[in-house]
Amino acid sequence: MIRQGLTDGWRTARSFWALAVVLYMGNLSISAGIAWAVAWLLDAASGSSLAVGVLTEGYNYTVISDLRQEGFDYGRTAMGAFLVAAPLSVLLNTLLSGGIIATVLRQASGLKVWNFVAAAVAYAGRFLRLLLLGLLLLLGVAGGVALLLVVLVPAAGWGPVTEKGVVAIAAAGAFMVLFGGTVVWTAVEYARLWVVRDSISSARRALLKGLRLVGTHPLATMTLQLTSVALVAGSVMIQLLLGAPLRMESVGGILAVAALHQGAVLARSFVRLWLIGSQSSVLNAVSPAGDGTG
């Protein structure tokens, strides 16, 4: 089942490459908006100064600090950009997922824009509810891990812990939250597939089915999910390694760095598509459509 999933995922990514481009364009539009806004703010604050020239070489502590006097706070701007872009991105990806999953599951030949949009709109409500339920479950996982550690550490007689102990406990906690979160999110993704394939109207019911699937077929579901995580992490590492020597001191330099990044983002969009295809394969193997288990 895992091997079949891997193969089907690759086939999906190849056949529906246009969907990866759609996903990529969505991400790009948000990033481009951020870049434009930040550039505009910074240029308004300091455009005529010679001092900002060093910023093409990288972060300059003195210049970044003094820009506050001109009304540009880099830290707050970055935080503000993140707080705007992160929810927008999550929402956008959630909405696009409806169209992407519908296109993949219906094995539609080519990307029909109108069908894509219609599917995205049709499943938007349920997908957003799934998103919310998933976030609540994630919070529950994080809270549970925190409680576990707070109770476990003193019970095991580990107090007062040393610095290494604190780091170890924090790392263990982070790992448990990440793993638990990955389990929850895998269930959410299968729930989405179920919603589209079997037209399930209740997001809660779909999520329960997703959780049950992950619980009964942990090896298949988590292997594919973790493979996707590994591919994404690998792409980030390659991106950082290749990007390290590049400099943004000219228009050409900026474009080169941007191209490298966008290539990596596009690659991750293909990984996303691959995951949907592989998950669909597992779903069909475990619970074929119309067999009454939907």
Partner 1 sequence: MNHLGSSLRIWILLVLVLGEASAAWGSALSERRANYTIAVRLDPSTQQLDGHQLICWQNLSPDTIEALPFHLYLNAFRSERSTFYRGARARARSFSPEEAGWIDLTAVTTAEGVDLTPGMAFVRPDDANEHDSTVIEIPLLHPLLPGDSVTLSMRFRARLPRVKVRTGYVGDFFMVAQWFPKIGVYEPAGMRGRREGGWNCHQFHRATEFYADFGVYTVAITLPEQFVVGATGVQIAESSAEDSLKTLTFHAEDVHDFAWTASPHFVVVPAAWRGVDIRILMQPQRLAQATRYRDAAIASLQYLDAHLGPYPYPSLTIVDPSYRGFGAGGMEYPTLITTGTVWGMPKGARFPEEVTVHEFAHQYWYAMVASNEVEEAWLDEGLSTYYTGRIMDETYGAAHSLIDLGVIRAGRGERTRTGYTQMDDPRSTPIAATTWEINDPEFGRVIYYKTATMFATLEGMIGRAAMDSVMRSFFRRWRFRHPAGEDLVAAFNELVPRLRPDRFGAGLGWFFDQVLYDTVTCDYEVAEISSSPAEDARMAERSAARPDTVPGLHLYSSTVTVRQLGAARIPTSIRICFEDGQELLEEWDGRSSSVVLRYRRGARVLSAEVDPERVVLLDLNLINNSRTARPSDIPAWSVATRLALMLQTVIQLLSLWS
Residue 56 identity (one-letter amino acid): T
In the complex, the smallest distance separating the C-beta of residue 88 from partner 1, rounded to whole angstroms, is 9
Block residue for tokens 């399930």 = 200
Per-residue contact flags (x/-) with partner 1 for residues 92 to 111, judged by CB under 8 A? xxx--x--------------
Stretch in the footprint of partner 1 (CB under 8 A) among 104-112, 204-212, 258-266, 280-288: 258-266
Q: Which is nearer to partner 1, 184 or 287 (CB)?
A: 184
Tell me the backbone φ, ψ of residue 98, rounded to 5 degrees.
-60, -50
CB 271 within 8 A of CB 14: no
- Whole-number minimum distance, CB 50 to partner 1, in Å? 4
Please give the C-alpha separations between residue 202 and each of 3, 132, 145, 183, 235, in angstroms, as whole numbers. Answer: 31, 13, 29, 20, 36
CB of 39 to partner 1, least distance (A): 4
Q: Which of these segments, 47-55, 115-123, 199-207, 284-292, binds partner 1 (CB under 8 A)?
A: 47-55
DSSP assignment of 106-163 equals: TT-SS--HHHHHHHHHHHHHHHHHHHHHHHHHHHHHHHHHHHHHHHHHHHTT-PSP-H
Residues 50-69 that bind partner 1 (CB under 8 A): 50-56, 58-59, 61-63, 65-69
CA distance 72 to 64: 8
Distance of alpha carbon 262 from alpha carbon 254, whole angstroms = 12
* C-beta of 6 vs 256, nearer to partner 1: 256
How many other C-beta atoms are found inside a 10 Å radius of the C-beta of residue 242?
Answer: 14
Taking the least distance from each CB to partner 1, the nearer of 274 and 287 is 274
Binding residue count for partner 1, defined by CB under 8 A: 77
Segment interacting with partner 1, rule: CB under 8 A, options 9-17, 75-83, 140-148, 193-201: 75-83
Residue 35 interacting with partner 1 (CB under 8 A) = yes
Nearer to partner 1, 246 or 285 (CB): 246
Q: Segment 210-249, which members bind partner 1 (CB under 8 A)?
A: 228, 232, 236, 239, 248-249
